[in-house]
Each structure stands twice: as C-alpha cells, then as structure tokens.
Amino acid sequence: MVERLVANEKVVGSSPIARSKIFYEMIIWISSYPKSGNTYIRSFLASYYYSDDGKFNFDQLLKIHQFPNMKFSKFQPMSREEASKNWIFNQNSFFNNEKLNLVKTHNCLIPYKGNEFTTKKETYGAIYIVRDPRNVITSLTHHYSLNYEQAFNYMINEESSLLETSFEKDHSNFTFLNSWSNHYKSWKNNSYFKTLFIKFEDIEKNKEETFRKIILFVESFKNNKEEIDKKKFYNSIKSTNFTNLKNKELNEGFEESVYSKKTGKKINFFNLGFNNRWQKLLPSDTIEKINKCFNKDLKDLDYSYE
C-alpha cells in the first residue's frame, strides 16, 4: 500500500512535523477505449460496492467518477498540453484518501507532450476492457453520429482525443486516446501497476467467471480476506444485465446519453450490446480496412475473421 506522510499546517517547536497523517492512495482505474463496455463494468461494480443488496440504480454510478474531469481540476488549463501537465497533480489533489477510489477513464497511458497520465505512485491497479474493433466502430458511429469513414479515421489517428471534449477556454476534460491499437496496448503492456485485462466478449461467454475475476482483483488491493458476498454478487449480475440497463434508460433516462448532431434528438446510450454483430452490420469495405489495419491486433487478441 502506498503511504504518504503529510504535515499539518501548524508546526510546533523545532519539529518539522508536529503531527502527521497517513493517506492511502487507492485509485483503481476502470479503463477502456470509448464504446468498449466500460459502463457495463462500472454498473456491475457500482451495484456490488455501493448498494446494500446488489440491486442496481443509476445513482450508484455517480460514485465512480470519471477522470480527467473539470470537477477534478484545480486549474483552468488553456490548452491540451497544459491540461496534461496537471493530470497527476489533480489525481494527488482529489483522490488521496482512505476509501476505495474506482475511477473511470478513457485516457491512454501514452504520455502526451511528455506528460504521463498516471504512475504507480498514484495508482494501485487497473481493470481494462478491450472490445473487437469491428464492434467498437459500429458503436462509435451510433453514439457520435459519425459515418464509417469518419469513425475508422478516428480509430487510427494517434492524435485522437475524446470527441465530446471541445472547449475554447477550459481543457480540463481533455482525454487523450491515441489510436485504438495503441490505446489497449498502452494499458495491457504497462509496467507501472497490475492490470486486469479482460475482453468485453468474455462477459457474454462467461459472465459469472468474468465478474468474479473483477471482484477478486479489486479485493486483492484491500487486503480483504472476506469471501465474495454471494447474494450481492448474483443480484449485481442480474440487475445489470444489458436488457435491464436498456430498459432503465428508456424509463428513467441516462445522463451519459448524448444528442444526435444530425437530428438533435437524444441517442440511446444502451443500444445493441451483445447484439452488436459486425458481421451483419458493417459494409464489406469497412471490414476489409479494419482487418488489414488491425491484422496483428486481431490475431493477438484472438478475434475471429468470421
């Protein structure tokens, strides 16, 4: 566990530290490239850790904050580079406390203009979710009102940032993505801290085992020898299944949904889920471009061409 001695403001006598506090830094990132299943994982974790019975509601998600974020910035950076210089400072300013900090991010771990996103001094570990890029692209086109050509160029651009962060005077929300390929590899191959690397598709294949791995990973940092709360665990799985999340959005609304740039109407955040099948949705030329561009990645991640 990372410990820091922090001096009180008042100093008595010649002693440099009259009294001290030990702060435990405990950031566990929930990271992914956009539209890769981050919200699904967060919903499960929120219902397990922030409810009494494992039954999910959208308010629980508010306890898992997103970073970078304007509300977690002590300054008003005037550029992306200035924002990136404050990433680590802001993490130390807002997340040094004695509770579990599950924090969502879409940022990659590749330095921006020489500025690191985080290090082992600020971070305990990370849960990273990767998704077949051919399914990612269909979700990108839906969520951001892009055509396939625009979405593909976005995914291969090493200067890409989160599309919804465009500010003239305050760049606190600046989230550096890089390309889809570099994004997942920056987290998967990092040597800073432990990373639980999971495939979104594994949730569909074996939801119970995948979520069990996630809980045990989080608990390993808490030095908690208690067993998984089975009742909460199964309630969390049941209450956060995709159909339930989709129905809750339709009935209650969801603050992470966005408005279409074309029609001005609200776009449902929970769209196809596991029914997002690139084989049925993608035009052949887009499939060909992705297969060619990400050929090595698809093989390394064991994603089928069929």
Q: Give the pLDDT score at 75.
A: 85
Q: Which residue has the higher pLDDT, 242 or 68?
A: 68
Q: Is the pLDDT of residue 292 over 70?
A: yes
- Is the model's pLDDT at 8 over the cut of 50? no
Provide the pLDDT confidence category of residue 251 given band limits of 50, 70 and 90. Answer: low
Q: What is the pTM of this model?
A: 0.82
Model confidence pLDDT, tens digit, residues 14-68: 222 222 233 345 799 999 999 898 988 988 998 899 988 988 877 888 888 999 9
pLDDT tens digit string along 117-152? Answer: 999 988 999 999 999 999 999 888 877 778 999 999
- Write a three-state SS string for the chain: CCEEEEECCCCCCCCCCCCEEEEEECEEEEEECCCCCHHHHHHHHHHHHCCCCCCCCHHHHHHCCECCCHHHCCCCCCCHHHHHHCHHHHHHHHCECCCCEEEEECCCCCCECCECCCCCCCEEEEEEEECCHHHHHHHHHHHHCCCHHHHHHHHHCCCCECCCCCCCCCCCCCCECCCHHHHHHHHHCCCCCEEEEEEHHHHHHCHHHHHHHHHHHHHHCCCCCCCCCHHHHHHHHHHCCHHHHHHHHHHHCCCCCEECCCCCCEECCCCCHHHCCHHHHCCHHHHHHHHHHCHHHHHHCCCCCC
pLDDT at residue 10 greater than cutoff 50: no
Interval 229-244 mean pLDDT:
84
Reported as a single tens digit per residue, the pLDDT across 260-289 is 456 555 455 555 555 556 677 788 999 899
What the chain holds in terms of domains, given with CATH numbers, is 3-300 (3.40.50.300)
Q: How much is the pLDDT for 63?
A: 87
For the ranges 78-87, 164-173, 287-296, the lowest mean pLDDT is seen at 164-173
